């Protein structure tokens, strides 16, 4: 087997050594994850605006495909909250929810996102995700969590309310509150309170009676299953559907069907941007989880191979009645904590969900949508974390501005605009900072060959010599700044005869910077001032030679700043060695 | 007078010392520039799609205002080729050429651009122009020159031809060539050939008969005036207007009129983007010329004050029948070479042009448009310079890609798209390079305290210690790359107990990078590996302390890499001093 094949199909690296003990561990983890995933999958389908079975389908084939192509041993792939919200936001601009066209558009979105992820992986462009800075991601997740929670209030209260930003949603909920259906509200509010208690109160209680940390965690994760069972039985026995409680209803008993996404150019064109955003956000969420879990076992995930794994998983979702999927945080952590040792656990989970799709769907006929909404609200509110505001404010204003812009734009305009604003702002801020690099005027520390900032140290200078140290690579955005600084320093100062540029911190000089250096050199020549360079790094020197800069340089290039200064006429007050 | 006022109104710095000698020099320069500017102003109005007098008006009040607010002693402000082309491109998408609405929209464009320049200057945002890299500007100017030249062919041949990109224009010219008007073509081609000869052949000839460099240059610049006079007389005496030669016709004899731009929100919205592009491109052209000329006399231009000067000049153009203006290359150089010593020369030029607008316009009734087109073609083709392709290809592929993208998009789509593509590509390329910084694994050079790249030097290493040096500031785009490199290096290597990060080249750590460092620290802790830092710069250290990173760091922070390595257990084979 070629190494190349093994790299592209990571299953080959672990399937050979698979044994009975590993099988047992994987099976138990799969069972636990399956039970947790059933209500979660149904809920996220609801969030994406799709029929509940789409949630199950989206968890089956994608998991199997990720098992073959993914590199994480613990990642569980399927619908997740933020991606489901983005799916709903993207599709409801284009097609009406509940129509057949909506479900087909969801397939197209998954297919397009899958193609993009696959291409990004094959072309090794995983680094693109790095442009989503941590503050932007934190801000985005927090704002999305609030929007998702607000969007579920209509199911909690049994009212009609719509909107894609927080204000619209809240206004709409308040306007429609008179329509409230009391039995629905009782179930919805009751389930929400119960699930919050399970998270906050039950775990300490279980630890109190001696349960281990992991076991208590897993028991807590079963809370949604209990809520689903209890409310389903309540609706069934009390005939609450007649009283206006919205229920899941008939779900087809079927394995994931073979489906075809639409390839209509008009539709694809409208979906390109949302698909790209979903791909990037989904990838970032997934890779963060995968790396966190892998590091705990000194394992390794390959970001570009992860893109391929997620891409294939999404293509799988597109052809089997699903919608966009990614590696989810909560399901992966449960999988890891439950002891999954290989991606086979994922495969067993898929089998478990397939059995559920075929056999258990009649049991959820009476499941109220309010219960699913409650599980979503409790899950996403745990992601809402405003501490990033405080933290970024304390750390740096630039980071704070990126966070606040992301949160405000996400809440007021929408998820895609929010992420775009945050990314654009953080790039602009980075460029701004690097466009005004630190330039120190340096002088000789007496008795040494070292040069230090004249404003911080007592150093020897010479009025005929100006020596500057630039603490950044020179490129188009900051080259003219250097020119401004030099020209400003020279204007009106007729004594200066030599300028020495200490280049020790310059890792790169691009063509703009080269031309600026040429312009500086020429302008200095016009003034009768010589330009020298010192401590130029090897690769930068190669560039300068290649660009013919050195032929026109009025001064010289020196190995050390000290040598350059002495050449220019500096007479050290206290030479380092008497014999030099 | 406060310093603040003097900074905002630079005229105050030189007007006090104005004397008779300076006055004489300025007056002569103004006379020469005025004669050159008359045909140029008419031609650029034609290029912008406006009546000829708009070109004169755009040169009068803007020059006067720049005299008061600008910092360059030699810059001549008025219509320039590229900005006139951009004006035509922006307006003809919105209003039909030749209508009253078109002229009003030109005023609005100048007003909007003036406001933007003024605001950029007041908020000291001049650095934004730095994001237009030299290669992008070169590519853009070259491509614009070709488009401008092609757009003038219709006047040269007396045909109808339209289009905003090169291909459209050339196809249109070829399609309409059967309509050719022979007398027009004779004048157009004749004037073009004459003007090319003046540039290439006359100057050497004049130098040959003993004329000085400057005088020969100025005489050459008078070529367009000769062409204007000769062809006007030809059209008049031969009655060529009857033969179908398009002439300038009646031009109102008037000082610049007071005009009001339209403030219609719909119009302004359509003009915002073009106005921004025109402002930035115009500013970059102007500041380059101003800095080049200022440096020759060790004078100083302040980029932010230049923005204010150009902004006020454009606002002036908006209210006096003009269109967007900026500091032009050729007119400024003539002004400088002709001996202008203060901005007063500009004021005298404005007076000269005002006299021309009032008294001389009847003389140009028979001036053929083909002559103006010829002056434009000859002027812009001198800007076309494909050597940037070769130069950037030789220097770096990233720069080459930015150039070629700018040229191709400008030629095939249009000027605004071309500049945007070039800027976006150069920023992306810069981010890409800095997102994959150089990370060297370093080891101890025996007998010293220095650490060098293990792949380039014979150094001492210890299998329990991994020491890495990062040659770039850590920020969101490259922080995860560091994490990938460290995790990849550790995967499968169970010997490593200490990782030391040499931070000597790190000038900045943003919040994303801090969080990545925290994640790295935590993941290494999970593996039982300690993370140490060495040679952290002062400001970065402050940041790390402020972000509470040091409290969680599993290892320590050391002043030097050597100290860190020794702490981690490295036993130098050859200690530096026997007594340490």
What string of DSSP letters covers B495-546? ---EEEEE-TT---B-HHHHHHHHHHHHHHHHTT-EEEEES--HHHHHHHHH
* Residue-level pLDDT at A580: 38
Q: What is the DSSP string of A92-104?
A: HTTS-TTSHHHHH
Integer angstrom CA distances of residue B450 from B437, B446, B457:
21, 8, 11
What CA–CA distance (Å, rounded) separates A107 from A86?
14
Helix (H, G, I), strand (E, B) or coil at A37: helix
Residue whose tokens read 């590091």 = A295
> Cα dihedral sign for B20, B21, B24, B26?
negative
What CA–CA distance (Å, rounded) separates B476 from B455?
28
Q: Do A298 and B490 touch (CB under 8 A)?
A: yes
Sheet architecture: strand order including A557-558:
A451-453, A439-444, A465-470, A498-502, A530-534, A557-558
Other C-beta atoms closer than 10 Å to the C-beta of B212 total 10
What CA–CA distance (Å, rounded) separates A229 from A251?
17
Integer angstrom CA distances of residue A96 from A103, A110, A274:
10, 18, 17
Q: Do B427 and A426 touch (CB under 8 A)?
A: no
Contacts of B511 in chain A (CB under 8 A): 133-135, 391-392, 395-396, 399
Q: Do A494 and B298 touch (CB under 8 A)?
A: yes
Helix (H, G, I), strand (E, B) or coil at A85: helix
* Residue-level pLDDT at A166: 87
Q: Report pLDDT digits (tens) over A131-183.
A: 888 888 888 889 988 998 998 999 999 998 887 788 888 999 999 989 899 99
Q: Do A130 and B480 touch (CB under 8 A)?
A: yes
Q: What is the DSSP letter of B548?
A: T
* Residue-level pLDDT at B578: 40
Q: Chain A: nearest CA to B236, how far in angstroms?
A: 48
Q: Which residues contact B283 (CB under 8 A, 6 or more apart)?
A: B117, B120, B126, B129, B306, B307, B310, B326
Q: Do B476 and A130 touch (CB under 8 A)?
A: yes
Contacts of A476 in chain B (CB under 8 A): 130-134, 136, 426, 430
What CA–CA distance (Å, rounded) separates B410 from B86?
11
Encode burial over B388-422: b for 16+ CB neighbours within 10 A, e otherwise.
bbebbeebbebbbbbbbbbbebbbeebbbebbbbb
Q: Judge whether B150 and A531 are in contact, CB under 8 Å.
A: no
Contacts of A294 in chain B (CB under 8 A): 487
The closest alpha carbon to A547, from A505, A518, A504, belongs to A518
Q: Among all residues of chain B, which has the CA nearest to that of A304? A: B484
What CA–CA distance (Å, rounded) separates B260 from B265?
15
Q: Chain B: nearest CA to A102, how far in angstroms?
A: 34
* Span between the terminal Cα atoms of chain A, in Å: 65
Contacts of A422 in chain B (CB under 8 A): none
Sheet architecture: strand order including B530-534:
B451-453, B439-444, B465-470, B498-502, B530-534, B557-558
In chain B, the domains with their CATH numbers are: 20-145+153-246+256-403 (no CATH), 439-567 (3.30.750.24)
Q: Do B133 and A512 touch (CB under 8 A)?
A: yes
Residue whose tokens read 């009645």 = A321
Question: Residue A55 class from Cβ within 10 Å (0-12 exposed, 13-18 middle, 19+ buried)?
Answer: buried
Q: Chain A: nearest CA to B269, how far in angstroms?
A: 20
* Residue-level pLDDT at A3: 65
What CA–CA distance (Å, rounded) separates A376 from A151?
10
What CA–CA distance (Å, rounded) separates B204 from A500?
39
Q: Do A133 and B519 touch (CB under 8 A)?
A: no
The closest alpha carbon to B139, from B392, B327, B324, B427, belongs to B392
Q: What is the DSSP letter of B461?
A: -
Q: Among all residues of chain A, which has the CA nearest to that of B296? A: A526
Q: Judge whether B117 and B64 are in contact, CB under 8 Å.
A: no
Q: Among all residues of chain B, which has the CA nearest to that of A391? A: B547
Q: Do B133 and A480 touch (CB under 8 A)?
A: no
CA A197 to chain centroid: 30
Runs of H (alpha helix) within A2-50: 3-8, 11-15, 20-47
* Residue-level pLDDT at B2: 61
Q: Chain A: nearest CA to B216, how far in angstroms?
A: 22
Runs of H (alpha helix) within A413-528: 415-435, 476-490, 511-526
Q: CA-based Rg of chain A, rounded to a whole angstrom?
A: 31
Residue B440 has φ and ψ, to the nearest 5°, of: -105, 135
Integer angstrom CA distances of residue B501 from A460, B295, B312, B442, B573:
34, 44, 52, 10, 22
Q: Do B476 and A430 touch (CB under 8 A)?
A: yes
Q: Chain B: nearest CA to A317, how far in angstroms?
A: 29
> Cα dihedral sign for A220, A224, A229, A234?
positive
Q: Do B130 and A433 touch (CB under 8 A)?
A: no
The closest alpha carbon to B369, from B246, B516, B539, belongs to B246
Mutate to test the interface with A, among B124, B126, B134 (most CBs of A within 10 A): B134
Per-residue pLDDT of chain A (580 residues; tens, 9 = 90+): 566 666 667 777 777 778 888 888 888 888 888 888 888 899 899 899 999 999 999 999 999 999 888 888 788 899 998 899 899 988 988 888 878 889 999 999 999 999 999 999 998 888 877 888 888 888 888 998 899 899 899 999 999 888 778 888 899 999 998 989 999 999 999 999 999 998 888 888 888 888 877 777 777 777 888 898 999 999 999 988 888 889 988 888 888 999 999 888 889 989 998 999 999 999 988 988 887 777 777 677 788 899 999 999 999 999 999 999 999 887 888 788 778 888 888 889 999 999 988 988 888 889 999 999 998 898 888 888 888 898 888 888 888 999 999 999 999 988 888 888 998 888 888 888 888 888 888 888 888 777 888 887 888 988 899 999 888 888 888 888 898 889 888 877 888 999 999 987 788 888 888 888 988 998 888 888 999 999 887 778 888 888 788 888 999 998 888 889 989 888 888 776 543 3
Q: Among all residues of chain A, which has the CA nearest to that of B125? A: A432
Residue whose tokens read 């140490």 = B532
CA B422 to chain centroid: 12
Helix (H, G, I), strand (E, B) or coil at B339: coil
Contacts of B394 in chain A (CB under 8 A): 546-547
Q: Do B296 and A511 touch (CB under 8 A)?
A: no
Nearest by CB: A477 against B131, B292, B512: B131
Mutate to test the interface with B, among A480, A542, A554 (most CBs of B within 10 A): A480
Other C-beta atoms closer than 10 Å to the C-beta of B119 total 14
Rounded to the nearest 10 degrees, the angle between the axes of helix B134-157 and helix B397-412 is 30
What CA–CA distance (Å, rounded) separates B246 from A150?
68
Contacts of A295 in chain B (CB under 8 A): 487, 522-523, 526-527
The length of chain B is 580
Q: Do B291 and A523 touch (CB under 8 A)?
A: yes
* Span between the terminal Cα atoms of chain B, in Å: 65
Measured at the CA of B132, the angle between CA B129 and CA B133, to 5 degrees, comes to 130
* Residue pairs spanning A and B at CB distance below 8 A: 177
Q: Do B432 and A127 touch (CB under 8 A)?
A: yes
Nearest by CB: A131 against B294, B476, B511: B476
The length of chain A is 580
Nearest by CB: A487 against B133, B295, B398: B295
Q: Judge whether A187 and A173 are in contact, CB under 8 Å.
A: no
Q: Report pLDDT digits (tens) over A288-304.
A: 888 777 777 767 778 88
Q: Judge whether A147 and A415 are in contact, CB under 8 Å.
A: yes
Residues of chain B with pLDDT under 70: 1-8, 298, 576-580
Q: Among all residues of chain A, which has the CA nearest to that of B512? A: A134
SS (H, E, C) B368-436: EHHHHHHHHHHHHHCCCCCHHHHHHHHHCHHHHHHHHHHHHHHHHCCHHHHHHHHHHHHHHHHHHHHHC
Q: Do A543 and B507 touch (CB under 8 A)?
A: no
Q: Judge whether A382 and A199 are in contact, CB under 8 Å.
A: yes
Q: Which two tokens stand for residue A266?
A: 């008009």
Q: Do A477 and B298 touch (CB under 8 A)?
A: no
> Cα dihedral sign for A568, A482, B306, B48?
positive
Q: What is the DSSP letter of B364?
A: G
Integer angstrom CA distances of residue A75 from A5, A71, A86, A309, B485:
21, 9, 21, 11, 21
Q: Chain A: nearest CA to B304, how far in angstroms?
A: 11
Cα torsion A263, A264, A266, A270 to 10°: value is: -30
Helix (H, G, I), strand (E, B) or coil at B440: strand
Q: Chain A: nearest CA to B100, how far in angstroms?
A: 39
Q: What is the DSSP string of B132-146?
A: S-HHHHHHHHHHHHH
Q: Judge whether B206 and B197 are in contact, CB under 8 Å.
A: no
The share of chain A scoring above pLDDT 90, in percent, equals 29
Strands A530-534 and A557-558: parallel
Q: Chain A: nearest CA to B476, how far in angstroms?
A: 5
């Amino acid at each position: 087997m070629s190494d190349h094949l093994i790299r592209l199909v990571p299953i080959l690296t672990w399937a050979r050594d698979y044994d009975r003990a590993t099988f047992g561990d994987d099976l138990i983890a799969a069972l636990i994850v399956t039970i947790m995933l059933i209500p979660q999958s149904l809920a996220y389908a609801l969030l994406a605006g799709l029929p509940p079975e789409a949630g199950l389908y989206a968890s089956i084939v994608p998991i199997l495909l990720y098992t073959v192509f993914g590199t994480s041993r613990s990642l569980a792939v399927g619908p997740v909250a933020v991606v489901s919200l983005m799916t709903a936001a993207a599709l409801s601009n284009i097609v009406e929810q509940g129509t057949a066209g909506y479900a087909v558009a969801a397939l197209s979105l998954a297919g397009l996102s899958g193609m993009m992820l696959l291409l990004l992986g094959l072309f090794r462009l995983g680094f693109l995700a790095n442009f989503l800075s941590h503050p932007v991601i934190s801000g985005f997740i927090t704002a999305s969590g609030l929007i998702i929670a607000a969007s579920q209030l209509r199911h909690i209260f049994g009212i009609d309310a719509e909107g894609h930003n927080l204000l619209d949603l809240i206004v709409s909920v308040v306007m429609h509150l008179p329509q409230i259906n009391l039995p629905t509200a009782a179930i919805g509010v009751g389930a929400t309170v119960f699930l919050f208690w399970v998270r906050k109160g039950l775990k300490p209680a279980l630890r109190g009676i001696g349960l281990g940390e992991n076991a208590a965690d897993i028991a807590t994760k079963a809370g949604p299953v209990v809520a689903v069972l209890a409310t389903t039985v309540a609706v069934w026995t009390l005939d609450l559907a007649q009283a206006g409680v919205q229920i899941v209803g008939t779900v087809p008993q079927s394995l994931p069907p073979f489906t075809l996404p639409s390839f209509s150019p008009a539709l694809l064109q409208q979906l390109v941007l949302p698909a790209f955003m979903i791909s990037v956000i989904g990838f970032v969420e997934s890779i963060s989880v995968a790396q966190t879990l892998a590091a705990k076992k000194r394992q390794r995930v390959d970001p570009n191979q992860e893109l391929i794994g997620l891409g294939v998983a999404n293509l799988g979702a597109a052809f089997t009645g699903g919608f966009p999927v990614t590696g989810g945080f909560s399901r992966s952590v449960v999988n890891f904590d439950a002891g999954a040792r290989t991606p086979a656990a994922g495969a067993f989970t898929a089998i478990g969900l397939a059995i559920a799709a075929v056999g258990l769907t009649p049991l959820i006929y009476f499941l109220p949508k309010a219960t699913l909404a409650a599980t979503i609200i409790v899950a996403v509110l745990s992601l809402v974390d405003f501490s990033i505001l405080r933290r970024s404010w304390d750390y740096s204003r630039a980071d704070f501005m990126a966070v606040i812009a992301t949160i405000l734009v996400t809440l007021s305009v929408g998820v895609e605009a929010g992420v775009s604003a945050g990314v654009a702002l953080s790039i602009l801020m980075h460029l701004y900072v690097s466009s005004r690099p630190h330039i120190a005027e340096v002088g000789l520390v007496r008795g040494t060959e070292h040069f230090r900032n004249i404003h911080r140290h007592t150093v020897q200078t010479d009025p005929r010599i100006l020596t500057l140290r630039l603490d950044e690579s020179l490129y188009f955005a900051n080259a003219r700044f250097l020119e401004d600084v030099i020209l400003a320093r020279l204007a009106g100062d007729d004594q200066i005869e030599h300028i020495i540029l200490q280049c020790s911190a310059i890792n790169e000089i691009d063509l703009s910077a080269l031309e600026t250096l040429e312009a500086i050199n020429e302008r200095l020549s016009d003034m009768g001032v010589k330009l020298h360079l010192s401590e130029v790094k090897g690769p930068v020197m190669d560039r300068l030679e290649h660009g013919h800069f050195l032929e026109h340089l009025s001064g010289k290039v020196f190995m050390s700043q000290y040598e350059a200064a002495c050449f220019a006429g500096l007479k050290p007050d206290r030479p380092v060695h008497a014999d030099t």
